[in-house]
Amino acid sequence: MSVWLAVASVLMVAVTAMALGVSLEALGWGLYLPAFVVYAVYVRDRRGVSDDDRLNHPVRSRLVTRYDRPLQATELVAVIAYESLLVASLPLHRPDGLGALAVAHLPFVVLAVYLRLKAVPVVDSLAVAGTWSSLIVATVVAVGDVGLSASVGATFLAWTLVVFGGVESRNAADVEGDEQVDHGTLASRLGAARTRLFVVGAKAAGAGLFWVVGGPGIVVLLGCYFAYLAGFRWLTAAASAAGPPPGVPDRWAGDTYR
């Protein structure tokens, strides 16, 4: 449930590097740096099962409750690996390296206040989009020794649009459950159909910025990234529809949320 998102972050770093003219070899272990924090953050977030999780993702909620201890262990390993790679990969003797180090810990800050952010419609989605975009771009800028430029800013904005659209795309599928627990989102305000149009527009705008920065080849790579996400979301939906695997108890069988 989280490894595929970690791989997606590697693809994001690769697309960013190519758009900014940085070779993947120059990134070294920095190519995989965001993957560890993405895994740790999403495992931690999913382990804290909320009311809307029980409504929108009942199978996932039962699984993370059943396997909480092993997931906690992998989360700890991911955090240790992440902090080790930060020290090994970032140029901490330079100002951009120190800046990237600060950005590298932004996901933990957002995670700590995420429940409060969810109380304000759209803000939580923007926080997620801005956090991951900052992390991806800051990693490439610091490790790849890229100077700040309009291209860097455009790349950051492009990923912000793409990730924001992706978050709201998931919210469009969770409207019913979110409304029952009074979790307002852009999707609940616009409706599922209008939200899908907004998502297409946001991702198209992001793709347009990537075209300006890196040309049509980068847009093709971005299309591969979209296809990867769509494939795993389909697999996730299919697994949810199939129900939990044998031996996983339904702890909320008598819950009114079910």
What are the C-alpha distances in Å from 17 to residues 44, 139, 142, 239, 249?
28, 9, 11, 34, 45
Q: Percent of the chain having pLDDT more than 70? A: 79
Considering only CA atoms, give the Rg of the chain: 19
Confidence of residue 155 (pLDDT cuts 50, 70, 90): very high
Instruction: Please tell me the number of Cα atoms within 13 Å of 131 on its side-chain side.
Output: 22
| 32 compared with 238, residue with greater pLDDT | 32
pLDDT band, very low/low/confident/very high, at 233 (cuts 50, 70, 90): confident
Q: Is 132 helix (H, G, I), strand (E, B) or coil?
A: helix
Mean pLDDT of 49-78: 79
pLDDT at position 254 over 50: no
Amino acid letter for position 106: L
Is the confidence at residue 256, as pLDDT, over 60? no
CB 43 within 8 A of CB 61: no
Report pLDDT digits (tens) over 164-218.
988 887 766 555 545 544 555 666 666 777 878 888 999 999 999 999 999 999 9
Per-residue pLDDT, averaged over 10-32, amounts to 93
Q: What is the pLDDT of residues 24-44, one digit of tens each?
A: 998 988 999 999 999 998 888
pTM of the model: 0.81
Overall residue count recorded for the chain in this entry? 258
Cβ-count burial of 223 within 10 angstroms (0-12 exposed, 13-18 middle, 19+ buried)?
exposed
Residue 153, both tokens: 């800013």
